[in-house]
Amino acid sequence: MDKFKKFKSDISKYYSENININFSPSSSYRSRCEFTYTNNSYAMHDGKSKIFLKSFINASSSIQKVMPILLYEINNSELLNKKLFQINFRSNSSKEVLATLIYHKHLTDEIKDLRDKLNTKLIDLNVKIILRAKNEIYPEINQFFKDAIRLKNLNLTTYQTDNCFYQPNRFLLTKMIDKVLSYTGFNNTGDLIELYCGVGTFSMPLATSFDRVFVTENNRSSIKCLKQAIIKNNIKNIDFARLSSSEVVELFNGRNFNRMNNKNISEYNFSHILVDPPRSGLTHDVIQLINGFDNIIYISCNPETYLRDVGLLNNHKIKKIEIFDQFPNTKHLEIVSLLSVN
């Protein structure tokens, strides 16, 4: 049984209608890739074994172009390859590439100078190179990586860093955003709260559909990116706070946080809550909290924890749901759904 049939079978006790599947091209779809560096190669883990690569067919075309050229430069420099253990890539809609070299050693002035020269040498590839080590990063400033979200009636600038979450499939991202917007009715007379908001990929488009949007995220880098994007896009109705999901529960239970910057959660009129948790899904306290909202937009990257959580959201029924095949030819699925009170 393939993963689509399995999920449809598993969810049939909660949703019996047909579920649309949004497919991705089977190659060149990943705008974010992470590799181990070993034996002068990029490496990925397949169970207990390693796969050695010079390029990666699933990476975006701009990352594929950079990979062998950067690998050649690294392998021909003892300073660059010594104690290098990981190489990460990100690309954007402008075909720019951010490459991060991560080391088990101190970043000396010598390796920083070599990075600067290599960055200049590869300038025609639109690649920017970052060096990382324990508690070190070089260069230390201007670490934002800019991208664009282009929807039918909306163009937005987003920002990410080399170590914060960003949706990886460049073909399906706008389709997912459009689907979430359709679930909210495009022109809602109420407020939205979002947990696990990341850099605001969904938050900013949804700001056009709600009176006010309050978003939370625990990752410091993501919050910095979100703040930068709100300013750049001149969005006036998004408030944010660096809070974990458990702290949001405490917030609704009356705890005060200085990170709220004098915003009062009771002043919002929430008609929807959006949750996009990690693969582990929602914790029990968060499930108890969101059971009190009329409408839940639940985005999940793990069918198993999604099914578990839906079974515990006993005040709601699935009203709309679609599958997004973010990682073709793997067991993974992305689910975008709307649950509303019975």
Query: Domain limits of the chain?
Result: 3-24+146-341, 32-140
Sign of CA dihedral 227, 230, 235, 238: negative
Closest residue by Cα to residue 98 from 171, 172, 166: 166
| 140 among known catalytic residues | no
125-181 residue pLDDT tens: 999 999 999 999 999 987 899 999 999 889 999 999 999 999 999 999 999 999 999
What is the pLDDT, as a whole number, of residue 143? 81
C-alpha to C-alpha distance for 82 and 84, rounded to whole angstroms: 5
- Please provide the CATH number assigned to the domain covering 32-140: 2.40.50.1070
Q: Under CATH, domain 3-24+146-341 is a member of which superfamily?
A: Vaccinia Virus protein VP39 (3.40.50.150)
Helix axes 303-312, 3-10, angle to 10 degrees: 10
Evaluate if residue 222 carries a pLDDT over 70: yes
Give the full edge-to-edge strand order of the sheet including 49-53.
49-53, 41-46, 32-38, 84-91, 97-103, 127-133, 136-138
322-335 residue pLDDT tens: 999 999 999 999 99
What is the pLDDT, as a whole number, of residue 79? 97
Q: Which of 194, 217, 322, 334 does the annotation list as catalytic?
A: 334
| 301 among known catalytic residues | yes
20-36 residue pLDDT tens: 999 999 999 999 999 99
- Please give the share of the chain, as a percent, with pLDDT higher than 90: 94
CB-based contact 14:20 (threshold 8 Å) = no
169-209 residue pLDDT tens: 999 999 999 999 999 976 667 999 999 999 999 999 999 99
What is the pLDDT, as a whole number, of residue 185? 79
Residue 182 DSSP code:
H
CB-based contact 92:145 (threshold 8 Å) = yes
Closest residue by Cα to residue 199 from 178, 236, 232, 227: 227
Residue 342 — pLDDT band, cuts 50, 70, 90? Answer: confident
What is the pLDDT, as a whole number, of residue 186? 63
Residue 90's H or E segment, with its range, is: strand 84-91
Burial class (CB in 10 A: 0-12, 13-18, 19+), 277: buried
CA angle 148/153/154 to nearest 5° reads 30
Q: Considering the entire predicted model, what is its pTM?
A: 0.95
Q: Which of 33, 301, 304, 322 does the annotation list as catalytic?
A: 301
